[in-house]
Structure 1
Amino acid sequence: MPALNRIGTIREDEAVICVLKDFNPTLRNPERSDNYPVIRYLKTLARQSRSSRKSIILMGPEAVVPSDLREEMVVCDFPLPSTSEIERIITSVIPPNLLQVSGLALEQLIRACQGLTRQRVERILVRALAAKGKVSEGDIDLVLEEKKQYIRQTEILEFYNPSETLQNVGVENLKAWIRERRNSFSVQAHAYGLPSPKGILLVGIQGTGKSLCAKTIAREWRMPLLRLDVGRLFGGIVGESESRVRQMIQIAEAMAPCVLWIDELDKAFGGVNSEFSGDSGTSKRVFGSLITWMQEKTKPVFIVATANNVRILPAELLRKGRFDEIFFVNLPNQREREEIFQVHIQRLRPNRVRDFAYPELAMASENFSGAEIEQTIYDAMHMAFNQDPPREFTQEDILGAIRQTVPLAAIARDQIQDLKAWAAESGARTASRDQHLVHELQTLVQKRGLGPIEVDSPSSFKFSN
């Protein structure tokens, strides 16, 4: 309060800029009895300053605007350092004779620093310099580890460095779509006039590999992967949720080009248009901010969203412009189940890949999801390991584990049929190149009288309404 009193005594004809620091705790809790007089006096000073030459600047790590000050304040967000600014930081902090990176290595170091604050970049460089007396290509891993820690501290985003490749997934149509757009973020694509891809929505029941697809896209395009936990966007303090959305957008755009993975979108925004949300409209404001950014964003942030129950999502989220494409991820077919078994055996027992009959395993595991197939292998390993003495697991162990497993498809049969009906109605593309699924969805369309189907081949399967 003494600082505000001092500002109040400044003459109206005196040109002055008043900078107030560390006011966020007061602004965040305006209802407290000792904070409200401060908020009220700030409002009075702001109105008085309209006819004077003094300006008041509040500085803080995040934008906190109490309802009493919304009409009096303008929020200015300072972006995280750009690539050119990061390069200047590197060259100014590290002496030229100690900076042993150039060309492609320097470009990779700069990209690794994207999304970090100026202070963190400087701190990492100083740490590397103190440890080895130089900054080299090997310090890129140090930067990436620091980035993981920083992003984890936001409690909103998680940084992933995926190792999964497209060979780990069997969704052929989705693979083809991803590969076609592999170079769409390049300078040449921009010069050609191509807009950067916006994103895709993957719809399917649990365990069908939607999350794995997000990781493979980032790996295929050689981009950093950020996972957004939408539930963490919602804070208990007034204005905190909106501030977290802005923070998430700022970090994602600072790291662009990148892949932003929004997992289980339906759990966060299902029923957001309901009249009985019970959160004073916070979820609607967060949802509105998010979809507006998805529509209007200019930075190359590719969104991979996943959903299990797509019918409860708001219609405005699914319209063209938010996503480039919507894919329906069905349970794996016979060939895909063979590939899934082989991928896991290759990872767990690379010297025994030829010891298993994958067609038989795939036939026995009909209607199993990829996650359930992986679990049956682990169950077989447990059975073999707990023998006396322990032995290697065999084909019969896996078949025994399959017989003891009740797949989710047997329990959620109605949900799967409903998702297929939705895919037929909405024109969602099938992620797999599955002729049986194509025929099944065609039949659903004809039964519901949804109009003609445009099908040239399973790989280009799509409905038109």
Structure 2
Amino acid sequence: MHFESELKLLLMSQHSLLYVVTDEEERLEYTLRKIIEQELSGFMYYWDFIEGYHDNPNNAKKATGNPLGALEFIDNSTSGTSKFFILKDFHVFMNDISVIRKIKNIAKKLKNINCNIIISASEIQFPPLLKNSITVIEFPLPNVQEIQIELERLSKVLSINSSVCIRDLAVAYKGFTIDKIRRSVAKFISSQKSIDSITDCILEEKKQLIQQTDILEFYPCNNNLSDIGGLINLKKWLVKRSDAFSQQARTYGLPSPKGVLLVGIQGTGKSLSAKAISEQWKIPLLKLDVGKIFAGIIGESEKRMRRMIAISEQSAPCILWIDEIDKAFSRLNQSTDSGTTNRVLSSFLTWLSEKETQVFIVATANNISLLPAELVRKGRFDEIFFLDLPRKEERANIFRIHLMKLRPLSWKNFDLTHLSILTEGFSGAEIKQSILEAMHDAFYEKREFNTRDISNAIKEFIPLSFSDKSSISALQNWAKLGKVRLASDRSINN
């Protein structure tokens, strides 16, 4: 395991004060015990605020309720056999000046007395005065192989017989702690539900887990590619990558796709495309509210970005939908930002370039000119698609899709060709709105709506493109220069 190797290396290379970020104390203790007892040959001491030192009868209850006393105990240790002191939740006491001073004093002598301090904490929270003394390492959630081992153990202990593949369950449980997995399995058994229906229940639990973070939203998907009128190039590109996250693709040697940037004015199908990708690829969709990343407290925005990345990777394979990303990074042009947006953007760009997990980014933007050049350069995304206003044939198809849903038996009675001619310059969203407006008018008159009602609604409608010609023109120029790819199967001059 990468974590075990890294931790062993740190302990052997005189990194005497480690700060391990985790919510899994029990699993961390097991991992530490395995490394220390089997490979480093040392004694382990555990301390927490309520019980003091324990796990050793000679030191039982020492330094109970006394964090400074816990450090004194370490300070009084003699050299000899290696000693490893695990201090649980110690980060909550590390803003006290006496604790800070004591840690700095001890840090100087730990190497001489052959001791290591390992602080376990659920978050990174220690004063700047200690940043040069402490090495931070994150204890990752269990990977698919570890989850699979635990599920196999549980299936034997609980005598579970299921046709569901353990490997598939392990993938579904990715992002859960071992304790959460155990409680989840116990819940299913207690509910007397069929174990074969466990995957749907896991998805619901994962949804609740993600929504508790208040950064990401587990987004339901009820749309597929057939709900999109036009955008032939985009749809072909997506269909070809439908199995890109499969084991067969990895065996073939294909790298996981990074993501796409969808640009175009409002209503051209960017959000609909994000939902359709999730349905087409059969992987969950997480939506990021970029506004929630930026917080007023210094350092909080960067922390939230790291948290968002961690949650996304824990939920992989998944799609991360970042809506209207241009609005978030337009802050770069403001002088009142104190560098926060630059730091957040830097973290995001680094992740985009280096991520190896199966998180597919779908970013949407209305105004590409607001995006920093670093974000749109080649390599950040697999492709940048320009979603232009639909041409006549595409508008007819959009009318057909909406009318088939609203009037599945009588949609052929509408003159789609006539309606598509009338809606020159309309976006897909505006076409849908014109149909709804016609329905309201007819419903008010207590009759069925028809082509004339939609035509009248269209004549009263002022499409957004009439007031946003500069944005469309700029995007069309980008397409002509080859900086973005047309989502529709046509020439930019059509």
TM tier relative to shorter chain: 0.7 to 0.9
- Residue aligning to 1:342: 400
- Residue aligning to 2:140: 79
1:209 Cα deviation after fit: 0.7
- Residue aligning to 2:237: 177
Distance 1:187 1:158 in 2: 27
Distance 1:37 1:280 in 2: 32
- Residue aligning to 1:53: 114
Contact in 2 for aligned 1:271/1:313 (Cα 8 Å): no
- Residue aligning to 1:199: 259
- Residue aligning to 1:392: 448
Contact in 2 for aligned 1:99/1:135 (Cα 8 Å): no
- 1:74-153 to structure 2, matched below 5 A, reads 74-94=135-155, 99-104=160-165, 106-132=166-192, 135-153=194-212
Cα–Cα, structure 1 residues 96 and 384, in superposed 2: closer, same or farther, change >3 Å? farther
Contact in 1 for aligned 2:233/2:489 (Cα 8 Å): yes
1:354 Cα deviation after fit: 1.7
Distance 2:153 2:67 in 1: 36
How many residues of Structure 1 are paired with residues of Structure 2 in the alignment? 426
- Residue aligning to 2:372: 314
Contact in 1 for aligned 2:267/2:428 (Cα 8 Å): yes
1:186 Cα deviation after fit: 3.0
SS of 2:411 mapped into structure 1? helix
Cα–Cα, structure 1 residues 193 and 90, in superposed 2: closer, same or farther, change >3 Å? closer
- Residue aligning to 1:263: 323
CA deviations over 1:174-227 (Å, ceiling 9, x no partner): 111112223333333333332222111111111111111112122222222222
Contact in 2 for aligned 1:100/1:137 (Cα 8 Å): no
Distance 1:243 1:23 in 2: 20
1:60 Cα deviation after fit: 2.4
Cα–Cα, structure 1 residues 47 and 341, in superposed 2: closer, same or farther, change >3 Å? farther
Distance 1:248 1:164 in 2: 25
Out of 9, 14, 17, the position equivalent to 2:84 is 17
Letter in 2 for 1:334: K
Contact in 2 for aligned 1:204/1:329 (Cα 8 Å): yes
1:24 Cα deviation after fit: 5.0
SS of 1:420 mapped into structure 2? helix
TM-score by length of 1: 0.84
Contact in 2 for aligned 1:199/1:302 (Cα 8 Å): yes
Structure 1 stretches of 5 or more lacking a match? Answer: 441-465
Cα–Cα, structure 1 residues 279 and 128, in superposed 2: closer, same or farther, change >3 Å? same
State percent identity of aligned pairs: 44
In the alignment, does 2:426 pair up with 1:372? no
- Residue aligning to 1:160: 219
Letter in 1 for 2:463: P
Distance 1:40 1:410 in 2: 66
- Residue aligning to 1:325: 383
Structure 2 stretches of 5 or more lacking a match? Answer: 1-64
- Residue aligning to 1:456: none
- Residue aligning to 1:209: 269
1:61 Cα deviation after fit: 2.3
CA deviations over 1:215-246 (Å, ceiling 9, x no partner): 21222222222222222223333433333223
Cα–Cα, structure 1 residues 65 and 49, in superposed 2: closer, same or farther, change >3 Å? same
CA deviations over 1:104-162 (Å, ceiling 9, x no partner): 5x444333322223233222222211111x55222322211111111111112122342
Letter in 2 for 1:348: L
Contact in 1 for aligned 2:322/2:361 (Cα 8 Å): yes
Cα–Cα, structure 1 residues 391 and 86, in superposed 2: closer, same or farther, change >3 Å? farther
Contact in 2 for aligned 1:384/1:392 (Cα 8 Å): yes
CA deviations over 1:347-369 (Å, ceiling 9, x no partner): 22222222212112211122111
Cα–Cα, structure 1 residues 349 and 59, in superposed 2: closer, same or farther, change >3 Å? farther
In the alignment, does 2:419 pair up with 1:361? yes
Cα–Cα, structure 1 residues 396 and 95, in superposed 2: closer, same or farther, change >3 Å? farther
Letter in 1 for 2:203: L
SS of 1:75 mapped into structure 2? strand
Distance 1:40 1:237 in 2: 26
1:26 Cα deviation after fit: 5.7
> RMSD of the TM alignment (CA)?
2.5
